[in-house]
Chain A
């Protein structure tokens, strides 16, 4: 194991780690976790989401898990499954699946630079969630290094399985607070011929209506993204090639084939180098318009709506941040309004001047139960302590 201090370690939710380690093997990682030296351990893979959440409890070590969790991908094309060491980069996985005409349709921001373990721990989806759901929907089984150094598994590697508790769903999106994913079995899909089409919408309502039209016409869009543009909204939709004629027929507007740039721009919106504040709202369909109006009042540099996934994301560049009180007030009001229909608001990037004014997660009514979960699997608060919802 080496204390990798050669370069300045990145900040975690605005706070600098006390140490930066990169165990070389799984055994070394196990030993480190089991050590109970009073340090909080912050596992990191590709590091695409280090800004997320509260600052970890100090002192804390940033633990690069990639060397310890590297290894061979076991892809079974005939079974449409793959068993992947958690440290594998999704770009690498995608290349291997592609060679067999298959894919794993997960595309959170900067996905090719992320590890599969990290993507699952964060649990955020990308444009493809519109058709394929969240990362957790592709997990068949997992092995996890628990906070006491025990390796435990749940699920299996078959595509249909209800044997035992579905701990995979608990682990996915838990931000590494109840264990470090070491290996994961996923369901993969055949790669199919699709095409991206660009369109313009005079208003958000028009864009939303078009999305609804596509859905009701059974066109099964893989993704449908609406982004704020000068004087209106621009959209992209990804469809099976055979669906284009019917889409054109029902759309009532021009659908123009486009390249990858629009898709990538929408996918990574809010996660560019200059983006300092990024908010993501999960809203009911009927609450999308008011959520958009609320963020637009703060003059964001970009707004993205996934009408069929019921998600809104807005971002502000470092030079153009609104006042802290303004953001905190608006976010508070949005959270209250969204909660009524079961939605929420997460600050995915939060500049230093706003930390303290705005809880990145917001309130959860399940906090007591979640604390019980944390206590059951990491009673000493060793993993990512304080970083998650409610300071768990």
Chain B
């Protein structure tokens, strides 16, 4: 049950109707897009910076942890309130405050969905570059927290390359602008430090982004290969030819079969891998690049190349890629979507290791990757209703992460460390490195109590988050009246 003094304090800040506390209402806020879960004691919906500040200060005074939440589409448990306490949801802060076509910037509140920002920019012939696969739902605030990427970040960079300033409420409850609407803030790049801090340093309450002119011409190539090796060689050849495509995506056989079954994309039944190459710019330049890319595909055994220039045709080629992960839901009840990075030249070898690990655990594995930057997304297929399957799939995921690290890679390319991987951090960083990172938390105050158990391994109270079935049932029916 929500402690009465907490409930009272939250209501004083935002009013009674913007605080959730009934067990039924809290339930969905125990999870995001991944496996870990933990129930909050209250969910609070501020509408203004002052209310955000009020919540943070009141929680700090009561020693209650605060976990920020956007749309809850994250894939590392970042929005899961690991130590319970208050979930601070940005759903009421959804205004686009300003789109400035002269400066090519937009100022938005953190709860604005990524796609709405791009739609608003489109009216001025501009767009917002980072396009995570969840862009129809995920929020800009969440993107800032996770330093989100997307298929098109190969050429254009991730969130940190496109957010120029933010008003934040720090973990200590102070309001401060980091960066600004201007191009180059003075002194330490606090903005750059804050972006990607996974909501552990504070909450962005206004975000200023830079917008880019919409490309004149976009050409999408879809090349079909017999196996992942040929497709990977093609990726190297494309890069070797001096091209930096807007996107360079690959899918393996299992993924293709699922996509074909669920989405009917028209892939040949024996296709072993598909490569999507997108090139953009002015027609005169793109034309030559398309010739180069096609040549690279042909040289490395593409059995078929489809080319599209019109938006509807391009969308068709992207359909299989964009719906691929979800389509896996049609061949298995659950999947565990991983996010690892290796140097691009180690891609094929790492995939072999991934396949070996998955086989050892008896899980089928499907692979989708941002091949251009070595960011792999193996999906382990399982059924959570099988006894112990969830625990084993998490274990297999850990082994795969280890393989990525050993190949000179990293634990996450875009999903964040979150709760999911905070324990793996010592694989990559020494105790001195981690202690050094921990100092950053101190700079923004309230070290460790704000979105606890995320990013950095912590000493106490961050053990396994259990499925809290037992705890709720034990509360009995009286808890619900």
Contact = CB atoms under 8 A, between A and B. Distances in A.
Direct contact of A and B (CB under 8 A): yes
B408 interface: yes
A11 B166 CA distance: 38
Given A150-B432, A220-B281, A369-B176, A390 B187 contact: yes
Contact of B186 (A191, A242, A346, A372): A346
Nearest to B157: A137
Given A150-B436, A311-B183, A160 B375 contact: yes
B177 interface: yes
Given A170-B189, A284-B103, A370-B190, A160 B213 contact: no
A110 interface: no
A18 interface: no
Interface stretch (A27-35, A317-325, A336-344): A336-344
B182 A160 contact: no
Given A173-B188, A366-B187, A370-B187, A81 B343 contact: yes
Interface stretch (B3-11, B18-26, B239-247, B463-471): B239-247
A76 B439 contact: no
Contacts of A164: 417, 425, 428-429, 437, 455-456
A361 B186 contact: yes
B61 interface: no
Interface residues of B, number: 87
Contacts of A146: 436
A5 to B, nearest CB: 34
B416 to A, nearest CB: 6
A364 B182 CA distance: 13
Name the residue among A152, A310, A346, A362 with the largest chain B CB count within 10 angstroms. Answer: A152
B277 to A, nearest CB: 15
Contact of B182 (A77, A81, A165, A344): A344
Contacts of A190: 239, 241-244
Interface stretch (B32-40, B80-88, B134-142, B282-290): B282-290
Contact of A366 (B190, B215, B374, B410): B190
Interface in A194-251: 215-220, 240, 242-243, 245-246
Interface in B410-426: 410-417, 421, 425
Contacts of B288: 242
A161 B183 contact: no
Interface in A274-316: 282-286, 309-311
Given A78-B236, A245-B284, A344-B184, A159 B439 contact: no
B125 interface: yes
A162 B216 contact: no
B110 interface: no
Interface in A144-178: 146, 150-154, 156-167, 169-170, 172-174, 178
Given A81-B343, A240-B285, A366-B176, 9 more contacts: A78-B344, A151-B432, A156-B341, A158-B342, A161-B341, A190-B243, A346-B186, A366-B178, A389-B188
Interface of A: 76-81, 101, 123, 133-134, 136-137, 146, 150-154, 156-167, 169-170, 172-174, 178, 189-192, 215-220, 240, 242-243, 245-246, 282-286, 309-311, 338, 341-344, 346, 361-362, 364-367, 369-370, 372-373, 376-377, 388-390, 392
22 contacts: A79-B345, A81-B343, A137-B161, A153-B430, A156-B341, A156-B409, A158-B410, A160-B413, A164-B456, A165-B193, A165-B440, A165-B455, A166-B193, A170-B190, A243-B285, A282-B182, A369-B176, A369-B444, A370-B188, A372-B442, A388-B187, A389-B187
